Copies of this chain bind each other. A is one copy, B any other.
C-alpha cells in the first residue's frame, strides 16, 4: 500500500473513468485539468457513449486499454464504484482518485455501507484511494492536476504539500497562495478518507523529496494518535503545520455531521499537536504565511529581531508584535550601530527599530543597513519593511538588484513591501522566495510569522 501511495502521486499514465465533454459533469473538468495542467504521461478517457473526449480517443472500459494504466480517476455515480474498483484491481492499477460523492458523508446509511464495501475491495487489491467525496489532488512537481479544478495548475511550483480534509479550504488557500506567491508541491483533498488519511500522508511526505513543509487542515480524525506518533518519531525532520478546525463548541455540533467526534476536544488536540512537534495555527492567512516562510527560510536560532523600516509607523507596529509574541528587539553591536549612524542622520530613531525614513529614497543606503544588520551576531532575524511613495519608487528595483547579487540569507528575513497594484509587483515577484527571503503583505503578518518561526524552533529544541 505504501509503495502504491508513492506511485499514485507520480504516475506515467492515468485513466479517467467517467470522462465527459459535458461542462455540467465533473468528468469534463477533470479532463480539462489533466490536459491544461500539462500532464506529460498518457491519458485514457473512459466513456462508453462517445468516441472522443477533449479530442482524445475514449475506451469503453479499463479492460480495453492495451497500455499500462497506473492511476484511475473515478467520477461515475457511487453505485457503480465497487465494480469499477474491482476492475481497477484486476487491471493492475496502483492507486485511485475517487471524486464521486455519496458515501459515508450522506445521511442515508447506504452511504456508509458502500464506503465499507469499497474499503474492503481496496484493501484486497492494496489500492490506496484518495477520497471518496474529494476534488482530487494536484502534484505540481509532476505536472499532474488530478482534480476537477483546472485552475490549480496556475499555482506556483514549490516544496509545500497541503493535505486537507476540506475541499473548500483547499480552494481558498490555493487561490490565496496564487495571490501571495506561495509555491506548492502537492495539494491533496482527503475527502472521506477511505484508506488514506493524514497519518498515511504524513508518513509518505516525510520521505517525499519534493516536499519540505507538510501542511495539514484537519476537522476530525478516527485515530489521531497514529498521526501524533508518526510526527513525534520524525520530530524536526520536516516542519509540520496544522490548522485544526472545530475550535468552538457550536461548530463542534456542525462538525459531528462530518466527522463523528473529536472537534470538541480542541484543547486536547492542541496539547497533543504541540507534543508531537506539529505547529498549530488558527487562521488561513497565518497558515499560508508560516508555510511560505518555512519553505525557504533558515531556522530562527534565537529571538533577537531587528526591525528595519523605511517609515516609522510600520516599524512600530511590527515592534508591538515582537514585544507581545515572545520575541525581543535585538541590541545592535557597536560596529552595526556606528555603520547605521553613518548612513542615517540623527533625524530619526537609529537604534532598533530603525527608522530608515531619512534614507527612504536611497536604495543603496537601505540595502547597506540591511546588509550590516544581517551580519550582526546579536541579530537572529530581520523584518524589512518598505512602503511605496512616489519619491521612493526606485527602492524596490534597487533592493532587487542587491538581492539578485547577494548570497542566500543565513538568518530568517521577512519583508513587507506594499505598493499600489501594478507598481513594484514585478520587483516583489522577483525577490520573493529567493535567497531565503520571504515577502508578506502586512507588517503584522511579517512579525507574526517571525514569532511562529521562533515557536517552531523552540518546539523542536524541546525534544
Interface residues of A, Cβ cutoff 8 Å to B: 24, 26, 29, 32-33, 101-102, 105-108, 135, 148-151, 154, 164-172, 175-176, 178-179, 217, 219, 245-251, 254-255, 257-258, 283-285, 309-317, 319-324, 328-329, 346-349, 351-353, 361, 385, 387-391, 418-421, 423, 441-445
Given contacts A178-B420, A418-B176, contact A245 B320 (CB under 8 A): yes
Given contacts A245-B317, A254-B315, contact A387 B353 (CB under 8 A): no
A249 to B32, CA, bound (A): 56
User: What is the CB-to-nearest-CB distance from A243 to chain B, in angstroms, rounded to a whole number?
Assistant: 8
With beta carbons under 8 angstroms apart, the residue of B26, B151, B255 that contacts A316 is B255
Chain B contacts for A249, CB-based, 8 A? 323
B171 near A311: Cβ-Cβ < 8 Å: yes
With beta carbons under 8 angstroms apart, the residue of B171, B247, B251, B351 that contacts A387 is B171
With beta carbons under 8 angstroms apart, the residue of B170, B176, B217, B349 that contacts A254 is B349
A443 to B247, CA, bound (A): 14
A33 to B245, CA, bound (A): 47
A284 near B443: Cβ-Cβ < 8 Å: yes
Chain B contacts for A29, CB-based, 8 A? 389-391
B251 near A442: Cβ-Cβ < 8 Å: no
Residue from A108, A176, A245 having most chain B Cβ neighbours under 10 A = A245
A151 to B148, CA, bound (A): 40
What copy number does this chain have within its complex?
2
Residue from A149, A175, A285 having most chain B Cβ neighbours under 10 A = A175
* A and B contact pairs by CB, cutoff 8 A, 18 listed: A102-B347, A107-B347, A149-B389, A151-B419, A169-B311, A171-B311, A172-B442, A175-B388, A176-B418, A246-B320, A248-B320, A248-B323, A249-B323, A251-B353, A254-B329, A283-B444, A284-B317, A285-B442
B313 near A390: Cβ-Cβ < 8 Å: no
Residue from A314, A352, A361, A445 having most chain B Cβ neighbours under 10 A = A314
A357 to B60, CA, bound (A): 31
B151 near A219: Cβ-Cβ < 8 Å: no
Chain B contacts for A387, CB-based, 8 A? 168, 171-172, 175
User: What is the CB-to-nearest-CB distance from A189 to chain B, in angstroms, rounded to a whole number?
Assistant: 10
Given contacts A254-B353, A388-B151, contact A167 B319 (CB under 8 A): no
Chain B contacts for A105, CB-based, 8 A? 347-348
Chain B contacts for A178, CB-based, 8 A? 420-421
Closest to A165 in B: B313
User: What is the CB-to-nearest-CB distance from A277 to chain B, in angstroms, rounded to a whole number?
Assistant: 24
Chain B contacts for A418, CB-based, 8 A? 171-172, 175-176
Given contacts A324-B248, A443-B172, contact A106 B346 (CB under 8 A): yes
A251 near B316: Cβ-Cβ < 8 Å: yes
With beta carbons under 8 angstroms apart, the residue of B217, B311, B320 that contacts A251 is B320
Residue from A150, A313, A387, A441 having most chain B Cβ neighbours under 10 A = A313
